[in-house]
């Protein structure tokens, strides 16, 4: 599994509740927050759901 560097680049204000919950589950609460996760299928599904809010890089 590849490590993923995930950055929140857009605000969560006005988004659907399940999209906000997904971002929070990834550890992203404020714009500019960066977290590293393994590229598991569960994490990849979360990234795909809110990809319009994120910048994703492989490490």
pLDDT by residue (tens digit) across 12-59?
999 999 999 999 999 999 999 999 999 999 999 999 999 999 999 998
pTM recorded for the entire structure: 0.91
* CATH number (domain holding residue 39): 3.30.1390.20
Domain, as residue range, for 41: 3-58
Q: Name the token pair of 53.
A: 């809010």
Q: Give the number of other CB atoms < 10 A from CB of residue 24.
A: 11
Residue 50 makes CB contacts below 8 A (sequence gap 6+) with: 19, 22, 23
Domains of the chain: total: 1
For residues 23 and 8, the answer to whether their CB atoms sit within 8 Å is yes
pLDDT for res 1: 76
For residues 34 and 6, the answer to whether their CB atoms sit within 8 Å is yes
């Amino acid at each position: 599994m590849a490590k993923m560097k995930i950055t929140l680049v857009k605000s969560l204000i006005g988004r659907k509740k399940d999209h906000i919950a997904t971002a929070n589950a990834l550890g992203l609460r404020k714009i500019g927050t960066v977290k590293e996760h393994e590229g598991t299928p569960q994490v990849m599904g979360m990234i795909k759901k809110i990809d319009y809010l994120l910048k994703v890089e492989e490490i």
